[in-house]
Amino acid sequence: MSDKRQFFGTDGVRGRVGTATMSPDFVMHLGWAVGKMLADKGYAGEKVLIGKDTRISSYMFENALVAGLSAAGMDIHLLGVMPTPGIAYFTRTFHAAAGIVVSASHNPYDDNGVKVFARGGYKLSDEQEELIEKYLARPMKLVPSAQLGKAYRITGARERYIEFCKNSVPLNLQFEKLKLIVDCANGATYAVAPDVFRELGSRVIAINAEPNGCNINAGCGSTHIETLQRKVREEQADLGIAFDGDGDRVIMVDKNGQVLDGDVLLYIIAKFRQNRGEDLHNIVGTQMSNYGLERALEKLGIKLHRTKVGDRYVLEKLNELGARVGGENSGHIICLDRNSTGDGIITALQVLAAVLDMNKTVQEITADLHLTCQILKNVAVSDKKTALENSAVQEAIAAAETEIAGKGRLLIRPSGTEPIIRVMAEGDDEGFLEKIVDGLIAVIRNN
344-381: pLDDT as tens digits? 999 999 999 999 999 999 999 999 999 999 899 999 99
**Alpha carbons 227 and 208: distance in angstroms, whole number:** 10
> Domain 13-155 class?
alpha beta
Smallest Cα–Cα separation from 49: which of 124, 138, 154? Answer: 154
Q: Which of 105, 202, 222, 340 is catalytic?
A: 105
Q: Is 105 a catalytic residue?
A: yes
**Alpha carbons 8 and 172: distance in angstroms, whole number:** 43
**Alpha carbons 100 and 396: distance in angstroms, whole number:** 42
**Alpha carbons 140 and 306: distance in angstroms, whole number:** 41
User: Got the DSSP string for 299-317?
Assistant: HTT-EEEEE-SSHHHHHHH
The conformational region for residue 176 under phi > 0 = left, psi -120 to 50 = alpha, else beta, is alpha
Q: Which CATH architecture fits 373-446?
A: 2-Layer Sandwich (3.30)
408-414 sheet: strands from edge to edge: 373-380, 420-427, 408-414
Smallest Cα–Cα separation from 1: which of 129, 88, 136? Answer: 129
**Alpha carbons 288 and 306: distance in angstroms, whole number:** 9
**Alpha carbons 33 and 25: distance in angstroms, whole number:** 12
Q: 160-169+176-365 has which CATH code?
A: 3.40.120.10
**Alpha carbons 38 and 260: distance in angstroms, whole number:** 41
Please enumerate in sequence order all residues whose Cβ is within 8 A of that of 260, keeping only pairs 6 or more positions apart, or say none: 251, 252, 253, 254, 268, 351, 362, 366
Please give the pLDDT value at position 309: 85
- Whether 160-169+176-365 and 373-446 share one fold: the answer is no
**Alpha carbons 61 and 58: distance in angstroms, whole number:** 5
- Sign of the Cα torsion 29, 30, 35, 36 reads positive
User: Is the entire prediction scored with pTM above 0.85?
Assistant: yes
Domain residue extents for the chain = 13-155, 160-169+176-365, 373-446
Burial of 354: CB neighbours in 10 Å, binned 0-12, 13-18, 19+: buried
**Alpha carbons 408 and 371: distance in angstroms, whole number:** 13
Smallest Cα–Cα separation from 421: which of 430, 431, 411? Answer: 411
Residue 112, beta-bridge partner list: 15
Smallest Cα–Cα separation from 346: which of 162, 199, 168? Answer: 168
- Sign of the Cα torsion 207, 213, 218, 222 reads positive
Please give the pLDDT value at position 419: 87
Please give the pLDDT value at position 409: 87
Please give the pLDDT value at position 162: 98
Please give the pLDDT value at position 428: 86
**Alpha carbons 150 and 144: distance in angstroms, whole number:** 13
Report, in angstroms and rounded to the nearest whole number, the Rg of the chain calculated over CA atoms: 22
The parts of the chain modelled with pLDDT lower than 70 are 1-3, 417
Please give the pLDDT value at position 3: 56
333-335 sheet: strands from edge to edge: 303-307, 282-286, 325-327, 333-335
